[in-house]
A and B are shown apart, each in its own frame.
Chain A
Amino acid sequence: MDLISTPLHDAFSPYALSFVFAAMGLNIHYGYTGLLNFGQAAFSAAGAYAMGVAIASFDLPLVVALLLGVVGAVLLALVMGVPTLRLRADYLAIVTIAVAEILRLVFSTSFKDYFHARDGVSGFTLGFRSLNPFPDLPNGFLSFSRNDLWVITVGWILVVLTCVLVWLLMRSPWGRILKSIREDEDAVRSLGKNVYSYKMQALILGGVIGAIGGFIGGLGLASVQPDSFNTDFTFIAFTMLILGGAARVMSPAVGAVLFWAVLSFLGVALTKLSNGDNPIIPSDLMSPDQVGNIRFAVVGLVLMLLMIFRPQGIFGDKKEIAIDAR
């Protein structure tokens, strides 16, 4: 039975949730506006660290800590955007990936009294957990603990609210400008729109959504560590977005759930197949301790096939992809 329950558990876990938000932020950046942000991890990290340090080191209330996290993401967006958004898209890509790495290295090596290097920040969940309305379930639900259940409830409600917000924004004239910028900035400029300002707004919005992912991930794991925010974080989020289909409201959430479910299923299944005295997969082909890597290879293969046969993702619109003037 754990072939079903484990993937289900993983796909809705707080860890997966942090990626849902990261991917939703990237959907604003890349999907709708065409901004290549390769440093989404930095936004999640900024949110998580601002919240964690504000509570653990300064004893600030949860609400204030969360607000500081949002402010952190906004500041980060300004730092990345001010020098690069006037330039071509490639520059933003370079700067974002650099800023994300710098931030991660600062968290893991500097200000150890606050960031505690690789151990990370912990001891900030009390305020959040005290709000938990769930009773103590003996077996839990999908073997989630009481604390996890509280985090994922809040998290998935926030996912729905964010989806609604994105949907409302993207059907508005504001969203129309973002989609136009994605296609041709100069055309938008020639019609009197301040492209720079709109790109900045998009960067900030997607960054703040990424920071929410940092909050949820941090509260779920009860600690914030620098290594969770390496470049893999951003690229896995990108993968989920493309799997779901860029520029669709629901696609980051569905993409993330599907990604974790498949990854987790492969982990469980391959472990079962390669374990025991007489494994189905011979041990000279694959040993159980290689499962962790093999499943990523299989996911990679699936993604390649997806890009070849369904480049628009699950929800993407073939019509929008097929018509290309140039």
Chain B
Amino acid sequence: MPDDMQDTRSRASDLVGVDPEPGVSKKDPIVVVDGITRTFGGLRAVDVDHLEIQRGVITALIGPNGAGKTTFFNVLTGFDQPDTGEWTFNKKSLKGVSASHVARLGMVRTFQLTKVLSKLTVLENMRLGATGQRGERFWAAPFRFLWKAEEDSITVRARDLLGRFNLAAKEGDFAGSLSGGQRKLLEMARALMVNPELIMLDEPMAGVNPALKQSLLGHVKSLREDGMSVLFVEHDMDMVRDISDWVVVMAQGRVIAEGPPASIMADQRVIDAYLGAHHDTDITEIEESVLAAEVEAELRADDEETR
């Protein structure tokens, strides 16, 4: 398939017929990883032989705590250097490329612990995200007429995104006054100001309330509709099931499985390593009351012991 990057329709159909095997090759990968290892002392945090991330789809990266997901993110985006390995983005090698350059190439990430700039306003946070601004050059900066028009168009784009992320009313507030969930939203919106081709979200749902979660899911889906590729780390299995086209599972630094969500959820290795046997069954009301009674009894026993 040719590099038709202008194609903006959903590309999920490209994944039909791809074998759900670790390291399987895909039709049109945006990221290709080969032999990346990263060790911390004696610990092999990341050890990925081969992995391809399909363009234009939503890929989830799941796995237990300490599986190396965030380290893998850091390595891919230039925030950490691997011990060995090669990886490409749009067929361009990113080995040794600085984090800022990776972002300018179109691969932008967010952080597990949000990094909003709390002493800047929400709108200023957004404006910072636009790349290649004329006013960011030292010699042009003192002369407002050189960058005013560009700043205005950036502001329009920023306000539009803030509206989409339900943050429009907050634009004049310091980002430090936002709640944890709002910070997640702001960070995602700010990353979009960079106009990425691939956006990498590190636990976008952590600390976000259920109502906001629904709209966040909608936003992520709409990114795919806009032709963007999404790679996200998440522990929220509902989200993974709901929006991802492809799931990659990491455990102890290695990719142990990949495939469409349905087949991954049924994969015995994944269940053993991460999901647990009861991940799929909803707790019924009766079971819930039984559980609650058990917990209560335990607490009472503890209480009596201490007395």
Contact with A along B173-207 (1 / 0, CB 8 A): 01011000000000000110110000000000000
Do A190 and B99 have beta carbons less than 8 Å apart?
Answer: yes
A324 near B100: Cβ-Cβ < 8 Å = no
Assess the A191–B136 pair: CB atoms within 8 A: no
Q: Are A194 and B117 in contact (CB under 8 A)?
A: no
Q: How many chain A residues have a CB neighbour from B under 8 Å?
A: 31
The answer on a CB contact under 8 Å between A192 and B141 is: no
The answer to whether B131 and A190 touch across the interface, beta carbons within 8 angstroms, is no
Residues of chain B with a CB closer than 8 A to A171's CB: 144
Closest to B137 in A: A174
Which of the segments A75-83, A92-100, A176-184 contacts the partner chain? A176-184
| Contact residue among B118, B135, B137 (Cβ-Cβ distance under 8 Å from A323) | B118
Q: Are A192 and B131 in contact (CB under 8 A)?
A: yes
Interface segment out of the listed B101-109, B209-217, B223-231, B276-284: B101-109
Whether the pair A173, B133 counts as a contact (CB closer than 8 A) is: yes
Q: Are B120 and A187 in contact (CB under 8 A)?
A: no
State A324–B133 Cα separation when bound (angstroms). 28
Cβ-based interface call for B128 (8 A): yes
B115 within 8 A of A: yes
Residue of B nearest to A192 (CB): B103
A172 with B142, Cβ < 8 A, contacts A177-B136, A183-B120, A190-B110 known: yes
- Within 8 Å by CB of B98, from A174, A194, A323, lies A194
Contacting pair A191 B141 (CB below 8 A): no
Nearest-Cβ distance from residue B188 to partner chain A, whole angstroms: 12
Q: In the complex, what's the smallest C-beta–C-beta distance from B138 to chain A, in angstroms?
A: 5
Interface residues on B, range: 35 or more
User: Shortest CB–CB separation between residue B73 and chain A, in angstroms?
Assistant: 11
Residue of A nearest to B154 (CB): A173
B142→A183 contact, CB < 8 A:
no
Q: Closest CB of chain B to A163's CB: distance in Å?
A: 12
B177–A168 CB distance below 8 A: no
Q: Which residues of A contact B142 (CB under 8 A)?
A: 165, 168-169, 172
Within 8 A of B (CB), among A139-185: 165, 168-169, 171-177, 179-180, 183-184
With a cutoff of 8 Å between Cβ atoms, the chain B residues found around residue A325 in the complex are 116, 118, 176
The verdict on B69 contacting chain A, using a C-beta distance below 8 Å, is: no
Q: Does B274 interact with chain A (Cβ within 8 Å)?
A: no
- A179 touching B120 in the complex, CB below 8 Å, given contacts A189-B100, A190-B110, A194-B98: yes
Inter-chain contact A179/B119, CB cutoff 8 Å: yes
Q: Are A319 and B174 neighbours in the complex by a CB distance under 8 Å?
A: yes
Interface string of B71-115 (1 = CB under 8 A from A): 000000101000000000000000000111101100011110001
Q: Does A243 contact B (CB under 8 A)?
A: no
Complex Cα distance, B116 from A318, in Å, reads 19
A195 at the A/B interface (Cβ < 8 Å)?
yes
* A188 within 8 Å of B (CB atoms): yes
Instruction: Please give the distance in Å from A159's CB to the nearest CB on chain B.
Output: 17
- Interface residue A90 (Cβ < 8 Å from any Cβ of B): no
Cβ contact within 8 Å between A172 and B115: no
Residue of B at shortest CB range from A202?
B138
Give the chain B neighbours of A184 by CB distance below 8 A: 115, 117
User: Are A173 and B131 in contact (CB-based, < 8 A)?
Assistant: no
Residues of B within 8 A of A190 (CB): 77, 79, 99, 103, 108-111, 115, 191
Measured between alpha carbons, how far is A183 from B104 in the docked complex, in Å? 21
A residues in contact with B143, CB < 8 Å? 168
Does the CB pair B108–A183 fall under 8 Å? no
CA distance in complex: A306, B197 (Å) = 50
B133-155 contacts to A (CB < 8 Å) = 133-138, 140-144, 147, 151
> Complex: how many Å from CA A270 to CA B135?
52
Alpha-carbon separation in the docked complex, A239 to B278 (Å): 62
Besides A320-B174, A323-B176, 14 new A-B residue pairs in contact (Cβ under 8 A), listed by A number: A173-B127, A173-B136, A173-B141, A183-B117, A184-B117, A189-B98, A190-B108, A190-B109, A190-B110, A191-B129, A193-B100, A195-B100, A205-B138, A323-B118
Query: Residues of B with Cβ closer than 8 Å to A?
Result: 77, 79, 98-101, 103-104, 108-111, 115-120, 124, 127-129, 131, 133-138, 140-144, 147, 151, 174, 176-177, 190-191, 193-194
6 closest A-B pairs (Cβ-Cβ)? A174-B141, A192-B103, A173-B135, A323-B176, A187-B115, A172-B141
Task: Name 17 interchain pairs, CB-CB below 8 A, sorted by A.
Answer: A168-B142, A168-B144, A169-B138, A172-B144, A173-B151, A177-B136, A188-B100, A190-B77, A190-B109, A191-B129, A191-B131, A191-B193, A192-B108, A194-B101, A201-B138, A323-B174, A325-B176
